[in-house]
């Protein structure tokens, strides 16, 4: 297995073949927006390949000079799920991106789940991430009225909440701009328990 940085054409192909099926329409940014981010050198799509076949992908933001990436989308191709590819992909990303301090994840907390099934999916996802070395941080983001818990996949250090807050604040300002950030997207620190 190998990971590679995906080019613009592959990004378009993955979007049209996989992403529109893997993510709810209301959670999926437009292809045009992702390509614009890519053209502005702030979007980094990675693929996990086995025998030259895509088995998983991760789409991430990185602001110039930052030591962090923000995971935007992460999925294992449907026919490859529950076979260890997601865990392997996270491990390979950690080994590949050694210049970073870590990868930031926004994970649905389950507070907005509309059913037991949705809540179980959130719990399963959180358990997967914790089992793969992610660390839950005392930060939350409200995105389109969905409560997201912030996790960090440490690479060279396990940064504190203040550093991550500042990194996310900068990323969100670029990602969403003034029209959305602070109006539909809210980042906040949680009190220590």
- The per-residue pLDDT for range 126-185, each reduced to its tens digit, is 999 999 999 999 999 998 889 999 999 999 987 889 999 999 999 999 999 988 998 889
- pLDDT band, residue 47 (cuts 50/70/90): very high
Q: Residue 22 has what pLDDT?
A: 95
- Residue 123, pLDDT above cutoff 50: yes
Supply 72's token pair: 């935007």
Q: Which stretches of the chain are DSSP H helices?
A: 8-14, 20-22, 31-39, 85-96, 116-131, 161-180
Q: What is the pTM of this model?
A: 0.93
The total number of structural domains in the chain stands at: 1
Long-range contacts of 126-134, Cβ-Cβ distance < 8 Å, separation of 24 or more: 128/86, 128/87, 129/105, 129/153, 131/87, 132/86, 132/87, 132/90, 132/91, 133/90, 133/94, 134/105
Q: Residue 141 has what pLDDT?
A: 95
Tokens 């949705």 sit at which residue?
A: 118
Instruction: Tell me the residue range of the domain where 150 lies.
Output: 2-189
What percentage of the chain carries pLDDT values higher than 90? 85
- Residue 193, pLDDT above cutoff 50: no
> Vertex 101, ends 63 and 83: CA angle to 5°?
100
- Residue 66, pLDDT above cutoff 90: yes
- Residue 192, pLDDT above cutoff 60: no
Q: Residue 144 has what pLDDT?
A: 83
Q: How far is CA 32 from the centre of its chain?
A: 19
- Residue 37, pLDDT above cutoff 90: yes
Give the contacts of 135 (CB within 8 A, at least 6 positions apart): 151, 152, 153, 154, 158
Supply 25's token pair: 């329409």
* CATH number, position 46: 3.40.630.30
Q: Residue 128 has what pLDDT?
A: 96
Q: Which tens digits make up the pLDDT trace of 9-32?
A: 999 999 999 999 999 998 899 999
Residue 52's nearest CA partner among 94, 8, 10, 12 is 10
Supply 21's token pair: 């099926």
Tokens 């926004």 sit at which residue?
A: 106
- Residue 95, pLDDT above cutoff 80: yes
């Amino acid at each position: 297995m190998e990971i590679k940085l995906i080019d613009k054409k592959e990004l378009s192909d993955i979007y049209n073949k996989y992403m529109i099926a893997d993510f709810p329409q209301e959670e999926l940014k437009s292809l045009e927006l992702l390509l614009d981010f890519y053209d502005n050198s702030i979007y980094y799509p990675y693929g996990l390949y086995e025998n030259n076949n895509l088995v998983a992908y991760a789409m991430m933001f990185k602001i110039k000079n930052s030591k962090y990436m923000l995971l935007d989308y992460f999925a294992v191709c449907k026919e490859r799920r529950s076979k260890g590819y997601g865990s392997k992909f996270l491990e390979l990303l950690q080994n590949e991106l050694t210049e970073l301090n870590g990868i930031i994840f926004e994970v649905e907390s389950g507070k907005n789940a509309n059913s037991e099934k949705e809540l179980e999916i959130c719990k399963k996802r959180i358990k997967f991430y914790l089992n793969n070395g992610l660390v839950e941080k005392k930060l939350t983001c409200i995105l389109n009225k969905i409560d997201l818990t912030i996790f960090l996949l440490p690479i060279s250090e396990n940064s504190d909440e203040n550093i991550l807050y500042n990194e996310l604040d900068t990323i969100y300002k670029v990602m969403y701009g003034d029209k959305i950030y602070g109006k539909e997207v809210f980042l906040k620190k949680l009190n220590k328990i």
